[in-house]
Structure 1
Amino acid sequence: MQKINLDRSWEYLELGFANVLNLTSSEYEWKKVDLPHDAVIEKERSEANPSGAGEGYTAGCSLYYKKELILDEEWQGKNLILEFEGIMGIAEVFVNGRLVAKHFNGYTSFLIDITKHVKFDDKNIIIVRVENTHKPSSRWYAGCGIYRHVWLHIGGKVYIKPWHLHVQTRAIENETAKLEVRAVVVNSVNEKVQGVIKFDVFSKDEKLILSSEEKFLIGKNEEKVIAKTLELKPFKYWDIEDPYLYKIQATIICDESIEDSASTLFGIRTISVDPKEGFKLNGKPLKLKGGCIHHDNGPLGSASYDRAEERKVELLKASGFNAVRLAHNPFAPAFLDACDRLGMLVIEEFFDVWHAGKVSFDYHLFFDKYWEEDLESTIMRDYNHPSIIMWSIGNEITWGVGVDVDDDSSYSIYTWCERLAKKVKSLDSSRLVTAALCAIPDDYKRLFAIIEEGNYVIRMLKQEADVIEDKWGEFSEKFSRFLDVVGYNYKVDRYGYDRYKYPDRVICGTETYPYTLFKNWKQTIENSNVIGDFVWTAIDYLGEAGLGRVSIEVDDLKSFCGSYPWFLANCGDIDICGEKRPQSYYRDVVWGNRKDPYIVILPPQVYGKKLYFKPWAWEPVERNYTFPGYEGMKVAIHVYADADEVELFVNGRSLGRKEAGINTQFKTVYDTIYEPGVIEAIAFKDGREIGRDRIETTGEPIALKLVPDREVISSSYGDLCYIKIMAVDRKGREVVFADNTIVVEVEGVGELVALGTADPLSGEPFVSRKRKLYKGRALAIVKSIGKEGEFKLKAWAEGLDGAQVFVKCI
């Protein structure tokens, strides 16, 4: 089917329940909007909002969207299908005043056949009602609105059903890839139709390399699967280093004329798991260096721009990740497209809840009726993505349901694990099925066990096996019978024990704490039954506010999340603006991706104080050696290094060599007195220098500096340019303590869509032109508006020299 984007020229209205037929009257003041759109990110946060810390104290919304659609006369007699990639909230869709669809899952895409509801002699009015005032409705920031793309599919009387052109690698033998191609063909007329379906395969550079045809006869108003086996020789594998993509185009020919066509990208790759040989991609062993992420795009809220989704994958790849777990729901197609193009493996998760809810108004209210529809639509939509290696049927489903191993009731989690796993396999037998298991109720009494570690007190869930009464083992054994891979959330200490107790079990660390990275990765490497480690989280996110906070007061950590104005989880390797945090540089060293040492400082303000951590927190070290007014006070200088020894110099004076590497868990600490100047670390292996790092004290901020991620972007509507804003001193060095309030302005063929920082407690709106720097930085996001030319972003602040940057749109 022909596919046309409908993102432009919508209007929206914030309004409670209204008669749809009256909404076109002049009494309503509609606001113009282009999609994607998240209305919540535009609204003021408040401690009084019932969404609470989980959703970052954000407001709920009740919205109406409206679009006028004039159909081309050439489409008369054709089939018209609307596709909504995602509407956050309970959605109702009306076409010309008639209710045509309801949808209850904000993360799953859905299709609506509107052929019988449209007219060609007048404009068509599409109205979408979105209800998301029932709070809390999520455990994290969800947003509200039509936050992903909307499409119109146009097909002939016999057409290929959207999402239903699939390619599967059946076998690879003698350097030949045997592919099964399946197309679901729909006949919309009241008579039999015969024709030919032609399959053309194209290389990455669009050259036709294979063509095949299949005759068909389809009954009146019938839906039929047409399958064809193709052999491709030679072929190129899709893998994470060379993500080679082919394109297949299916064309329906009836009476010697083209009736319909569809195309999709696909990759040829094999996956397997084994408790002794681990995970293999194309026959080669690979440990998954993974991270969990949520769906939001930081300062953009939940609005899903293609470039924002692509940039997330670029950031992950640049930080050494080769796999990502989509927590805890299906993501936008643009994100998966980027994973395909850039070479990122994916665990795509369907549900965070089944029957039992985790908050009052989450998906558990609709699961019974819609689980099968949402699961099936996700698999059908995403079937061809080679990046997807596993489907996850659920995350931490044990919440609120109990784990009686003899429970065989209709709401038993064991019964439902079997049902969901079998459903997935019936739709897609080519991928692995997993689910993420967490602690069971008996474990939660130990949730806040205190473990002393030097000057720090870290509050963590006890993870090891109870060898006397292993209730978790009994539960996991029954629950995981229908899983190919068993996801362990925060159960690293069970890996070795379960390797022998459950010798046929394949384990994946689906969530682990950042601070225990060394142990997490060591256990992953040492146990063949463990295929990978996924940190919570790879990229920081909105909501679950204060999950990763640190305090000098133990009472500050008694609640699960932080009190207002906390907004961010504050636990990601990468912050919401795309900057690496200290834990990310430590990961670089542990994973062997960084050869030079890396210096961070525990500042004098907190030196020597007992620090209380949430389990997802990282110690409050900074990439900063400028502490005005703290001269002569103690600091701790941490050096991350994969070396035998490191030597630290303060203003040219050696503080001596110390052991580094595995024996110190890649962290070496020097306690010293803060004196402004230069600190330098040199790493040694086998007595030879292998790398060095330095930090120096900076001066006062005197100017702003602007750095765009790209100097040329597409003029097509909705491409994004991310522009870093930094305060610098006279020597052009970043001044991390700068907190000036900046103002930005965009001129030309661009539009400012967000201005943000990584401040986890800021109450400033992302949609403002004005914002306070956080650790010397801010981020402006500018959108192309569909015109060629150039835009200019200017930034200024009181007491600082302003700056400007030009970006071309072509």
Structure 2
Amino acid sequence: MKKVNIDKSWECAESSLYSVLNVANLECEWRPVDLPHDAVIERPRCENNPSGASEGYTPGCSLYYKKELMLEEEWKGKNLILEFEGIMGISEVFVNGRLVAKHFNGYTSFFVDITKHVKFDDKNTIVVHVENTHKPSSRWYAGCGIYRHVWLHVGGKVYIKPWHLHVETKAIENETAILEVRAAVANSTNESVQGVMEFSIFSNDGELITSSQEQLILGENEEKTVSKIITLSPFKYWDIENPYLYKILATIKIDEDIEDSSSAFFGIRTISVNPKEGLKLNGRVIKLKGGCIHHDNGPLGSASYDRAEERKVELLKASGFNAVRLAHNPFAPAFLDACDRLGMLVIEEFFDVWTAGKVSYDYHLFFDKYWEEDLKATIMRDYNHPSIIMWSIGNEITWGVGIDVDDEEGYSSIYTWCERLSQKVKELDSTRLVTAAFCAIPADYESLLTTIEDGNYVIRMLKQEAVAGNDKWGKVTEKFFEFLDVAGYNYKVDRYSYDLEKYPGRIICGTETYPYTLFRNWTETIKNPNVVGDFVWTAIDYLGEAGIGRVCTDENEAKIFGGKFPWFYANCGDIDICGDKRPQSYYRDIVWGLRKEPYIVVLPPQLFGKKLYFRPWAWEPVERSYTFPGYEGMPIAVHVYADADEVEVFVNGRSLGRKVCGINTQFKAVYNTVYEPGVIEAVAYKNGKEIGKDKIETTDRPVALKLLPDRNVISSCGDLCYIKIIAVDKNEREVPYADNTVTVEVEGAGRFMALGTADPLSTELFVSSQRKLYKGRALAVVKSIREKGEIRVRVLAEGLKSAEVVIKCI
């Protein structure tokens, strides 16, 4: 089917009881919007909003979207199907006043066949009602609205069903790949038809490699699947280092005329697991250097722009990740497309809840009725993505169940659902692994273990280490994991070695781990052959679950799960919401062997000596700064990350001595000294020889702004450009304490989209073009407006020299 994007020229309005009752004749205050659109990110947050810390104190919404659609005359007699990639909220779709569809999962894509509801002699009115006022409805920021793309599929009377052109690698023998190509075909006429189905495969650069035909005979209104075995010899593997993609084109020909066609990209790769070697990709053992991420795009809210999704994958790749876990629902197709192109392995998760909810109005209200529909939609839509290596049927499902650990009958329902979902996945896709993430058992969720590390308190969930004869966690999970190919362990690193002996056939994946225990996480992952990888919570910071990664100076405040208003971000990502690496990310570089030079961070003098309380997902509150005006002569702690035998720190050329900084100190060394403006330098040594240096220096006051766009040339068709805004001193050094208010002005072939910082406590709106810098930085996002030319972006700040950058749109 022909696929036409219809994101442009929608209207949006607040819904009301009156409008709900009069949807055929809406009288609303409409405003123009283009999709994707997230209405929540435009609205002020309030501490009284019932969404609470989970959704970042954001408001709920009840909305209408409207689009007037004129159909081309040549489409008359064809099949017309709308595809909604994602609508956040309970959604109803009306065509010309008639209700034609309802959908209840904000993360799954769905189709609406409008063939019998449209007219060609006049405009057609599409109205979508989105209801998301009942709060809390999510454990993280979800947004509200038509936040992903909308498409119109146009197909012949005989057509290939969308999402139903699949390629499966059946076998690889020597240098030959044996592929099975399948296409589901529908005949919408009241008579039988005959024709041919032609399958063509193209190389990564668009050259035709091979083509094959299959006879096609369909009865009246019949649907059937046409399949064909095709061999490629030689062929190229899809891999994370060389993500080679082929293209399949399926064409229906009747009487030599093309009736319909469909295409998709695919990759050829193999995956397997065994307890002695772990995970193999294309026959090669690989450990997953993974991170969990949520679906939002930071300053853009949940709005899913293709470039925003691609940029997330670029950031992850640049930081050494080779795998990502999609928490805890299906993501946008554009994100998976980017993973395919750039070489990122994916665990795609279906559900955060099953029958028992985690918050009052989440998906558990609809799970019983719609789980199979949503699961099938996701697998059918995403089947061809070579990046996806595992399906996850659920995350920490036991939350909210309230069943005693010894109540075997109570847990039987969970086991039954686990088996049921796993079998359904295998029925739809036998080529991939099935997993699910299991955390602490419900009886222990209220029990927190407080440990003291370096004089500070770390609050974490119980380790639940195995105790012979009293292994509650092992007892509960043993049957659950029977139905899975890979057992997902959330925060259970301490069990890896024990379970290798107790369950020798079990394959384990660290589906969530704490950032602060990174060294142990990775050491245990490497040591145990049956552990396939480690996924930190999280790789990129996100909106909602506000403050779960905060560090407190008040013990009572630290015992609260989420941060009090105005906390907005989780504050636990390796990468912040503006795309900058945080200290924990540079430490990860050392642990993973990606960085040879040492890395310096400093605990600010205002925190030195204070008793700190770490939330479970927190990192040390260190900064990449040696500029603390007014704190001269005050004590500070200099932290050095390095994979070295020793490191030596110099303050203004004066040595503070050498310290061990190798595997026995978990690649960390700490120096207590006194703040004196100037230069701190760290030198790393191995075998007595210098292997790398790092330094930071005190800067002067900010005098100007510096702009760094992620790209200087972008597409004119709704593409995005991300522009870093940095305050600099007279020597163009970044000033980390600058908090000037900046204003962004955009002219030419683009428009302003968002302005954000990594400040987790700010109440400033991202949609405002004015905002205070945070630690000397901000991030502006601009969008091209389907015009070729230039986007001129100028940023001003009181007391600072302004800066300007020109982005070319082609």
TM-score normalised by length of structure 1 = 0.99
AA of the residue aligned to 2:282: N
Which residue of structure 1 aligns with residue 659 of structure 2? 658
Query: Within 5 A, what are the aligned runs for 1:540-551?
Result: 540-551=541-552
Which residue of structure 1 aligns with residue 737 of structure 2? 737
Which residue of structure 2 aligns with residue 595 of structure 1? 596
AA of the residue aligned to 1:166: H
Query: Does the CA contact (< 8 Å) of 2:605 and 2:634 recur in 1?
Result: yes
| Structure 1 stretch displaced more, 460-469 or 375-384 | 460-469
Query: Within 5 A, what are the aligned runs for 1:796-807?
Result: 796-807=796-807
CA deviations over 1:35-80 (Å, ceiling 9, x no partner): 0000000011001111111000000000000000000000011000
SS of the counterpart of 1:239?
Answer: coil
**Taking structure 1 as reference, are residues 640 and 791 closer, same or farther at Cα in structure 2, changes over 3 Å only?**
same
SS of the counterpart of 2:445?
Answer: helix
Query: Does the CA contact (< 8 Å) of 1:403 and 1:475 recur in 2?
Result: no
Whole-angstrom CA distance in 2 between matches of 1:786 and 1:482: 50
Is 2:253 the partner of 1:248? Answer: no
Is 2:96 the partner of 1:96? Answer: yes
Query: Within 5 A, what are the aligned runs for 1:320-469?
Result: 320-401=320-401, 402=403, 407=408, 412-446=413-447, 448-463=448-463, 464-469=465-470
SS of the counterpart of 1:593?
Answer: coil
Which residue of structure 1 aligns with residue 623 of structure 2? 622
Gaps of 5+ in 1: none
- Distance apart, 1:797 and its partner CA: 1.1
- Distance apart, 1:27 and its partner CA: 4.4
Which residue of structure 2 aligns with residue 186 of structure 1? 186
CA deviations over 1:260-319 (Å, ceiling 9, x no partner): 000000000000011111000000000000000000000000000000000000000000
CA deviations over 1:326-380 (Å, ceiling 9, x no partner): 0000000000000000000000000000000000000000000000000000000
SS of the counterpart of 1:228?
Answer: strand
**Taking structure 1 as reference, are residues 677 and 409 closer, same or farther at Cα in structure 2, changes over 3 Å only?**
closer
**Taking structure 1 as reference, are residues 405 and 109 closer, same or farther at Cα in structure 2, changes over 3 Å only?**
farther
SS of the counterpart of 1:477?
Answer: helix
Query: Does the CA contact (< 8 Å) of 2:24 and 2:96 recur in 1?
Result: no
CA deviations over 1:143-197 (Å, ceiling 9, x no partner): 0000000000000011000000000101000210000111000010111111100
Which residue of structure 1 aligns with residue 781 of structure 2? 781
SS of the counterpart of 2:16?
Answer: coil
Gaps of 5+ in 2: none
| Structure 1 stretch displaced more, 549-558 or 458-467 | 458-467
AA of the residue aligned to 1:169: T
Query: Does the CA contact (< 8 Å) of 1:252 and 1:259 recur in 2?
Result: yes
Is 2:190 the partner of 1:152? Answer: no
- Distance apart, 1:413 and its partner CA: 0.5
AA of the residue aligned to 2:666: Q
Whole-angstrom CA distance in 1 between matches of 2:573 and 2:514: 10
SS of the counterpart of 1:412?
Answer: helix
**Taking structure 1 as reference, are residues 807 and 653 closer, same or farther at Cα in structure 2, changes over 3 Å only?**
same
Which residue of structure 2 aligns with residue 678 of structure 1? 679
AA of the residue aligned to 2:390: M
Query: Does the CA contact (< 8 Å) of 2:725 and 2:779 recur in 1?
Result: yes
Whole-angstrom CA distance in 1 between matches of 2:715 and 2:782: 12
**Taking structure 1 as reference, are residues 765 and 246 closer, same or farther at Cα in structure 2, changes over 3 Å only?**
same
Query: Does the CA contact (< 8 Å) of 1:81 and 1:111 recur in 2?
Result: yes
SS of the counterpart of 2:209?
Answer: strand
Whole-angstrom CA distance in 2 between matches of 1:157 and 1:314: 41
SS of the counterpart of 2:8?
Answer: coil
SS of the counterpart of 1:397?
Answer: coil
- Distance apart, 1:406 and its partner CA: 6.4
Whole-angstrom CA distance in 1 between matches of 2:26 and 2:340: 47
- Distance apart, 1:452 and its partner CA: 1.1
- Distance apart, 1:408 and its partner CA: 5.4
Which residue of structure 2 aligns with residue 503 of structure 1? 504
Which residue of structure 2 aligns with residue 207 of structure 1? 207
Whole-angstrom CA distance in 2 between matches of 1:364 and 1:27: 34
Which residue of structure 1 aligns with residue 228 of structure 2? 228
Whole-angstrom CA distance in 1 between matches of 2:255 and 2:285: 51
- Distance apart, 1:654 and its partner CA: 1.0
Query: Does the CA contact (< 8 Å) of 1:405 and 1:478 recur in 2?
Result: no
Query: Does the CA contact (< 8 Å) of 1:726 and 1:734 recur in 2?
Result: yes
| Structure 1 stretch displaced more, 94-103 or 680-689 | 680-689
AA of the residue aligned to 2:421: L
SS of the counterpart of 1:262?
Answer: strand
**Taking structure 1 as reference, are residues 38 and 212 closer, same or farther at Cα in structure 2, changes over 3 Å only?**
same
Whole-angstrom CA distance in 1 between matches of 2:422 and 2:24: 46
CA deviations over 1:482-529 (Å, ceiling 9, x no partner): 100000000000000000000000000000000000000000000011
Whole-angstrom CA distance in 1 between matches of 2:479 and 2:700: 62
Which residue of structure 2 aligns with residue 571 of structure 1? 572
AA of the residue aligned to 1:503: P
Which residue of structure 2 aligns with residue 607 of structure 1? 608
AA of the residue aligned to 1:61: C
AA of the residue aligned to 1:705: K
- Distance apart, 1:558 and its partner CA: 1.7
CA deviations over 1:212-261 (Å, ceiling 9, x no partner): 01002111111101111110000000000000000000000111111000
Whole-angstrom CA distance in 2 between matches of 1:19 and 1:579: 44
Whole-angstrom CA distance in 1 between matches of 2:361 and 2:246: 42
Which residue of structure 2 aligns with residue 521 of structure 1? 522
Whole-angstrom CA distance in 2 between matches of 1:406 and 1:558: 29
**Taking structure 1 as reference, are residues 491 and 225 closer, same or farther at Cα in structure 2, changes over 3 Å only?**
same
CA RMSD, Structure 1 to Structure 2 (Å): 1.2
Whole-angstrom CA distance in 1 between matches of 2:190 and 2:468: 67
Which residue of structure 1 aligns with residue 535 of structure 2? 534
Query: Does the CA contact (< 8 Å) of 1:37 and 1:145 recur in 2?
Result: yes
AA of the residue aligned to 1:420: L
Whole-angstrom CA distance in 2 between matches of 1:58 and 1:242: 42
AA of the residue aligned to 1:462: L
- Distance apart, 1:409 and its partner CA: 7.0
Query: Does the CA contact (< 8 Å) of 1:92 and 1:102 recur in 2?
Result: yes
SS of the counterpart of 1:514?
Answer: coil
SS of the counterpart of 2:17?
Answer: coil
Whole-angstrom CA distance in 1 between matches of 2:744 and 2:415: 55
Aligned residue-pair number: 808
Whole-angstrom CA distance in 2 between matches of 1:419 and 1:94: 34
CA deviations over 1:618-648 (Å, ceiling 9, x no partner): 0100000001111111111111001111111
Whole-angstrom CA distance in 2 between matches of 1:766 and 1:737: 21
Query: Does the CA contact (< 8 Å) of 1:600 and 1:622 recur in 2?
Result: yes
Which residue of structure 2 aligns with residue 195 of structure 1? 195
TM-score normalised by length of structure 2 = 0.99
SS of the counterpart of 2:696?
Answer: strand
Which residue of structure 2 aligns with residue 647 of structure 1? 648
- Distance apart, 1:410 and its partner CA: 10
Whole-angstrom CA distance in 1 between matches of 2:25 and 2:372: 39
Whole-angstrom CA distance in 1 between matches of 2:446 and 2:363: 27
Whole-angstrom CA distance in 2 between matches of 1:392 and 1:240: 21
Whole-angstrom CA distance in 2 between matches of 1:37 and 1:769: 18
- Distance apart, 1:467 and its partner CA: 2.5
AA of the residue aligned to 2:180: E
Whole-angstrom CA distance in 2 between matches of 1:690 and 1:284: 31
AA of the residue aligned to 1:154: V
Which residue of structure 2 aligns with residue 267 of structure 1? 267
